[in-house]
């Protein structure tokens, strides 16, 4: 079997790039004949189609990437199998997607979103995102690499470090976490909340709004926004430096950082919804807040980014949930429990790593991919 994997290659630190690269690595280590190419590189993709002649082209992205992941290989007679996430609503390309023999998605919730929006569920298989469990491992608090991370962030050895990682922090539930921290501040041990966000123009205003909220809540001295560019090599040490990983995400098709935190034996606080229902188990590997609010819309404005020639309004027959908000009181309760109970933190973390190794290790995901190609497409 020859596999061409389309993603942000060479990989940037982002989630989709990591998703594709870990599949590529896993297949390569299994001995599968596999190549990787940037999903937007039309010339290089065509080059591979002509000489490499892949049996299948696996494209990592979301439905809006259909031209690059599906239509382009089809133009050259090559079989595409997209591996997709969702962004709340599948607005276009239903006909193209329904003609495919197989679509991979990252969680059961993503599958539900595609089926809700008109995609044939019989064609959809869940393939979780892989985790590098050789890199994301537990470290001693005294490890010099861990102490160096904490020192650089201005966190003393006796402070509890709460961490959220994302392209921006608000989408990962940071505002809800800050509200919860303000509620428990007087009862909690000494703490510091670190939000690691990526330096990009679209997040600057959001970061300012988040910091303004921290100031209004009176906890700004305990909140740090880290906006430096970092590599994936640094991520295991950043996550391992925290005591609690908190990300009650507003929209999450899988939750890679939550899984990586569990792999580092860190307890996770998240939301009892979406992809986290696949990746986290309440009371065993994580504490999951209930949904307090669903953000519902009756219509959206879509344009070229969604494959339309010009902007147009799409009105729904039934209102669509496009975002979630976690219950702040639940988050506050769970934070206080974990902050006061190191035994519980250790128990959740150890159970979390055990589950990640058994279910989400990138080699297990690659093996599952090979099985799906055999079962669904007859490829060997």
Q: What angle do CA 363, 232, 169 make, to 5 degrees?
A: 110
Q: Distance (Å, rounded) from C-alpha 271 to C-alpha 250?
A: 8
Name which residue leads in pLDDT, 92 or 303. 92
Contact 327, 292 (CB under 8 A): yes
Do 256 and 280 contact (CB within 8 A), yes or no?
A: no
Q: Where in the chain is the domain with CATH 3.40.50.2000?
A: 2-130+361-377, 144-359
Q: Please check whether residue 301 is in contact with residue 312, taking contact to mean a CB–CB distance below 8 angstroms.
A: yes
Query: Residue 59 pairs with which residues in a beta bridge?
Result: 6, 82
**Distance of alpha carbon 207 from the chain centroid:** 19
**CB-CB contact of 377 with 54 (8 Å):** no
The tens digit of pLDDT for each residue in 53-95 reads 999 999 999 999 999 999 999 999 999 999 999 877 788 899 9
Count other Cβ atoms within 10 Å, centred on residue 51.
6
Mean pLDDT, the chain, whole residue set: 95
Q: By the 8 A CB rule, do 196 and 238 touch?
A: yes
Query: pTM (2 decimals)?
Result: 0.94
Helix, strand, coil percent values for the chain (each to nearest 5): 45, 25, 30
Q: Which architecture characterizes domain 2-130+361-377 according to CATH? A: 3-Layer(aba) Sandwich (3.40)
For strand 312-326 and strand 291-302, is the pairing parallel, antiparallel, or unpaired? antiparallel
pLDDT digits 0-9 by tens, 311-332:
878 788 788 888 999 999 999 9
What's the CA gap between 263 and 339, in Å, rounded?
20
Class of domain 144-359: alpha beta
């Amino acid at each position: 079997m020859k596999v061409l994997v389309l993603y942000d290659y060479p990989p940037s630190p982002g989630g989709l790039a990591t998703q594709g690269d870990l599949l590529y690595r896993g297949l390569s280590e299994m001995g599968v004949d596999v190549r990787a190419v940037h999903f937007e590189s039309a010339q290089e993709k065509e080059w591979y189609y002509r000489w490499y002649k892949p049996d299948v082209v696996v494209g990592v992205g979301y439905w809006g990437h259909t031209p690059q992941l599906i239509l382009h290989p089809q133009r050259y007679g090559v079989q595409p199998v997209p591996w997709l996430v969702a962004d709340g609503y599948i607005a276009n390309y239903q006909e193209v997607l329904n003609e495919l023999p197989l679509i991979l998605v990252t969680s059961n919730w993503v599958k539900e979103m595609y089926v809700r929006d008109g995609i044939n569920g019989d064609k959809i298989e869940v393939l979780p995102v892989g985790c590098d469990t050789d890199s994301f491992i537990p470290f001693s608090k005294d490890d010099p690499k861990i102490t160096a991370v904490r020192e650089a962030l201005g966190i003393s050895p006796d402070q509890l470090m709460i961490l959220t990682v994302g392209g921006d922090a608000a989408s990962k539930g940071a505002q809800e976490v800050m509200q919860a921290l303000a509620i428990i501040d007087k009862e909690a041990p000494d703490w510091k909340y670190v939000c690691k966000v990526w330096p990009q123009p679209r997040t600057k205003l959001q970061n300012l709004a988040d910091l303004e909220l921290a100031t209004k809540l009176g906890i700004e001295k305990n909140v740090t926004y880290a906006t430096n560019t970092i590599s994936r090599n640094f991520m295991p040490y950043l996550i391992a430096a925290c005591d609690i990983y908190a990300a009650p995400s507003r929209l999450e098709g899988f939750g890679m950082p939550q899984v990586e935190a569990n792999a580092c034996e860190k307890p996770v606080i998240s939301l009892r919804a979406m992809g986290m229902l696949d990746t986290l188990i309440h009371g065993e590997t994580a504490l999951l807040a209930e949904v307090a609010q669903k953000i519902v819309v009756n219509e959206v404005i879509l344009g070229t980014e969604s494959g339309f020639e010009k902007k147009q309004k799409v009105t729904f027959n039934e209102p669509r949930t496009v975002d979630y908000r976690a219950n702040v009181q639940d988050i506050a309760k769970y934070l206080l429990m974990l902050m006061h109970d190191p035994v519980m933190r250790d128990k959740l973390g150890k159970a979390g790593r055990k589950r990640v190794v058994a279910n989400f290790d990138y080699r297990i995901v690659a093996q599952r991919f090979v099985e799906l190609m055999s079962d669904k497409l007859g490829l060997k």
